């Protein structure tokens, strides 16, 4: 026969209400009482009924995590940060991979709602098409919603300043004497790529360097896309001496194409990525990139969504983090 809270209360010689308070918020009971309840739990081998607890507290202690591409090396540190904090507060998360498919995303949202998820975190940039984001606004009226690396007015978010990150990257290349700087990006149908291009253009404009359409190349946001983009740039009569890519995967593809075509990095071509994913420090030469603090942002996100669930954080604001340039070995002074 299953052990109940009533059995625990009887064994510990406390009220049922006290046991319930201990299970849901241990610090509200005295150390002596908590010890007695815990000993009773262990002696009777009691397992809390999560469904019953969620009905009593209106908190399922589950968080939905929705991300666009589980294969992207950018996401694991974020997930690790979320998990490390969630575990401390006895929360678990359901991970949903959408493959950037809005229909699938909506399906996962419905599943998470049916599982009584207490809140949801959407990780990664969103489409620039407002129609593909309308359901996020509707959802945010039902339960706590947090955006990571994106921002919509009226929805809580934590993000790094994409425009500033690319601006810093290009200015670093200017400091090394480069003027022929290409911008390699995924198509601008996702807002992060739009913001990064603005940073690139701002830096070029402030330096008084004429904008060259042929130096902006769009391909898929993967290593293969970076490779194809660099192959395209190598066909130009005046190829760039430096490339800024919107993520580390594309930057690595740029480097591979350059190396296969007889260029040396950084002697012949300087490359700057974006995100500071784990692979950026594992390749040779090690990649100079823009740090987006994935693990730290993950920890911040977990704390924020838990506070939102517990009504301790009700302000739907954006926390904007300044990105940091991480200088490694993939860039050199022009002509050096």
Across 16-20, 120-124, 173-177, least confident range: 16-20
Instruction: For strands 156-160 and 242-245, give the pairing.
Output: unpaired
Place of tokens 């690595």: 252
Q: Which of 144, 123, 118 is nearest to 66 (CA)?
A: 123
Characterize the bridge pairing of strands 289-291 and 324-326. antiparallel
Residue 251 has pLDDT above 90, yes or no: yes
Question: How high is the pLDDT of residue 58?
Answer: 54
Segment 265-279, tens digit of pLDDT: 999 999 999 999 999
Per-residue pLDDT reduced to its tens digit, 94-108: 999 999 999 999 999
47-101 confidence digits (pLDDT tens) = 665 545 544 455 678 999 999 999 999 999 999 999 999 989 889 899 999 999 9
Q: Which of 7-11, 143-147, 208-212, 314-318 has the lowest mean pLDDT?
A: 314-318
User: Which comes out higher in pLDDT, residue 29 or 158?
Assistant: 158
pLDDT digits (tens, 9 = 90+) for 316-330: 789 999 999 999 999
pLDDT number for residue 162: 97
Q: Is domain 62-160+293-323 in CATH 3.40.50.2300, yes or no?
A: yes
Q: What is the pLDDT of residue 300?
A: 97
Q: Show me where the domains of the chain are located.
A: 5-48, 62-160+293-323, 162-291
Mean pLDDT of 169-187: 97
Q: What local confidence, expressed as pLDDT, does residue 61 receive?
A: 87
pLDDT, residue 50, reads 52
- Looking at the domain 162-291, which fold is it? Rossmann fold (3.40.50)
Are both 62-160+293-323 and 162-291 of the same fold? yes
Q: Considering only 45-49, 123-127, 150-154, 224-228, which range has the smallest mean pLDDT?
A: 45-49
Say what the pLDDT of residue 51 is. Answer: 47
Q: Is-above-0.95 flag for pTM?
A: no
Residue written as token pair 């469904």: 51
- pLDDT of 335: 73
pLDDT, averaged across the chain: 91
Q: Model confidence at 194, in pLDDT bands (50, 70, 90)?
A: very high
Does residue 40 register a pLDDT over 90?
no
The pLDDT of residue 48 is 63
| Coil/strand/helix, residue 226 | helix
Q: What's the pLDDT band for 237 if we cut at 50, 70, 90?
A: very high
Provide the Cα torsion 128, 130, 134, 140; round to 10°: 60
What's the mean pLDDT in 20-44? Answer: 83
CA distance 122 to 95: 10
What is the rounded CA–CA span in Å between residue 25 and residue 12?
Answer: 17
Does residue 150 carry a pLDDT above 80?
A: yes
Instruction: Tell me, rounded to whole angstroms, the distance of Cα 199 from its chain centroid.
Output: 20
| CA–CA dist 251, 246 (Å, integer) | 8
What tokens appear for 130 in the block? Answer: 């407002």
CATH architecture assignment, domain 5-48: Orthogonal Bundle (1.10)
């Amino acid at each position: 026969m299953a052990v109940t809270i009533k059995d625990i209360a009887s064994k510990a010689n406390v009220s049922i209400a006290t046991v319930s308070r201990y299970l849901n918020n241990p610090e509200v009971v005295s150390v002596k009482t908590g010890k007695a309840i815990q000993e009773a739990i262990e002696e009777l081998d009691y397992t809390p009924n999560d469904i019953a607890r969620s009905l009593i507290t209106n908190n399922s202690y589950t968080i939905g995590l929705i991300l666009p591409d589980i294969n992207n090396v950018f996401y694991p540190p974020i997930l690790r940060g979320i998990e490390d904090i969630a575990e401390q507060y006895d929360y678990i998360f359901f991970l949903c991979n959408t493959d950037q498919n809005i229909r699938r995303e909506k399906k996962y949202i419905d599943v998470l709602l049916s599982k009584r998820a207490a809140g949801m975190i959407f990780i990664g940039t969103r489409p620039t098409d407002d129609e593909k984001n309308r359901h996020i606004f509707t959802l945010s009226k039902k339960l706590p919603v947090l955006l990571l690396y994106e921002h919509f007015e009226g929805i809580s978010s934590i993000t790094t300043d994409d425009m500033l990150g690319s601006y810093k990257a290009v200015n670093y290349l200017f400091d090394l004497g480069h003027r022929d700087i290409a911008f390699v990006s995924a198509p601008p149908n996702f807002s992060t790529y739009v913001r990064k291009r603005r940073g690139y253009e701002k830096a070029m404009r402030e330096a008084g360097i004429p904008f060259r359409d042929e130096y902006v190349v769009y391909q898929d946001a993967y290593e293969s896309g970076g490779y194809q983009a660099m192959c395209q740039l190598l066909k130009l009569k005046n190829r760039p001496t430096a490339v800024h890519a919107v993520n580390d995967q594309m930057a690595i593809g740029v480097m591979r194409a350059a190396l296969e075509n007889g260029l040396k990095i950084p002697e012949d071509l300087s490359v700057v990525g974006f995100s500071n994913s784990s692979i950026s420090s594992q390749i040779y030469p090690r990649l100079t990139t823009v740090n987006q603090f994935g693990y730290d942002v993950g920890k911040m996100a977990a704390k924020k969504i838990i506070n939102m669930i517990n009504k301790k954080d009700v302000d739907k604001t954006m926390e904007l983090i300044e990105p940091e340039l991480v200088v490694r070995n993939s860039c050199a002074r022009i002509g050096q």
